């Protein structure tokens, strides 16, 4: 049975809620994973070759390229939480992560996730309290061609 037929069968007889947020809560937990796999497989060998080229040798000697670790807010460097609050005044703290490697601007930084007006912002803060970047998490749908 194809992945798309399997997904249809799993949701058979279920009515779809009106809002995207309600729809995402109504879907089975495994369905987004299945859709991601179907999309990635649709690229065929080209996707595998791109991954191979991108990561060739990166882990061959067991070297860790980068890491993200969720930490308690009180573990963040002094001034990190205050700087993130200034970048998004009136927001609510969601999570704090310590990030190293290619995703970090200066080799190591903090990702502070804050909720503002229903949206989640990821604020990259360096150890000195300066703001690197602010990203808005966008929830969307991916339509897979049949």
Is residue 85, in this structure, part of any structural domain at all? yes
The confidence band for 142, taking pLDDT boundaries of 50, 70 and 90, is: confident
pLDDT at 77: 83
Residue 90 lies in a domain: yes
pTM: 0.54
* 74 and 124 co-located in one domain: yes
Residues 85 and 27 in one domain: no
Same domain as 45, residue 88: no
Full domain range(s) for residue 16: 3-55
Is residue 142 one of the residues assigned to a domain? no
Same domain, 42 and 79: no
35-92: pLDDT as tens digits: 766 666 666 666 666 566 556 655 556 566 678 889 999 888 889 999 999 999 999 9
Determine the pLDDT at residue 121: 93
Within-domain flag for 36: yes
- Look at residue 144 and tell me if it is in a domain: no
pLDDT at residue 141 greater than cutoff 80: no
The stretch 121-143 carries a mean pLDDT of 86
CA distance 28 to 8: 11
Indicate whether 49 and 98 sit together in one domain: no
- Please report which confidence band the pLDDT of residue 138 belongs to, taking 50, 70 and 90 as the band edges: confident
Looking at the domain assignment, is residue 141 inside a domain?
Answer: no
pLDDT at 125: 92
pLDDT number for residue 75:
86
pLDDT at 30 over 60: yes
pLDDT, tens only, 92-123: 999 999 988 877 776 789 999 999 998 999 99
Q: pLDDT at residue 10 above 60?
A: no
Number of domains in the chain: 2
Same domain, 73 and 132: yes
């Amino acid at each position: 049975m194809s992945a798309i037929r399997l997904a249809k069968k799993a949701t058979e007889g279920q009515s779809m809620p009106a809002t995207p947020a309600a729809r995402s809560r109504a879907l089975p937990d495994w369905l987004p994973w299945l859709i991601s796999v179907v999309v990635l497989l649709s690229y065929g060998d080209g996707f595998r070759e791109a991954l191979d080229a991108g990561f060739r040798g990166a882990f061959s000697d067991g070297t860790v390229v980068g890491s993200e670790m969720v930490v308690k807010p009180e573990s963040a460097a002094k001034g990190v939480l205050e700087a993130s609050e200034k970048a998004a005044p009136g927001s609510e703290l969601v999570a704090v992560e310590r990030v190293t490697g290619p995703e970090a601007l200066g080799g190591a930084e903090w990702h502070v996730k804050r909720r503002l007006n229903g949206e989640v912002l990821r604020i990259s803060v360096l150890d000195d309290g300066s703001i690197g970047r602010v990203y808005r998490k966008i929830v969307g749908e991916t339509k897979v061609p049949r």
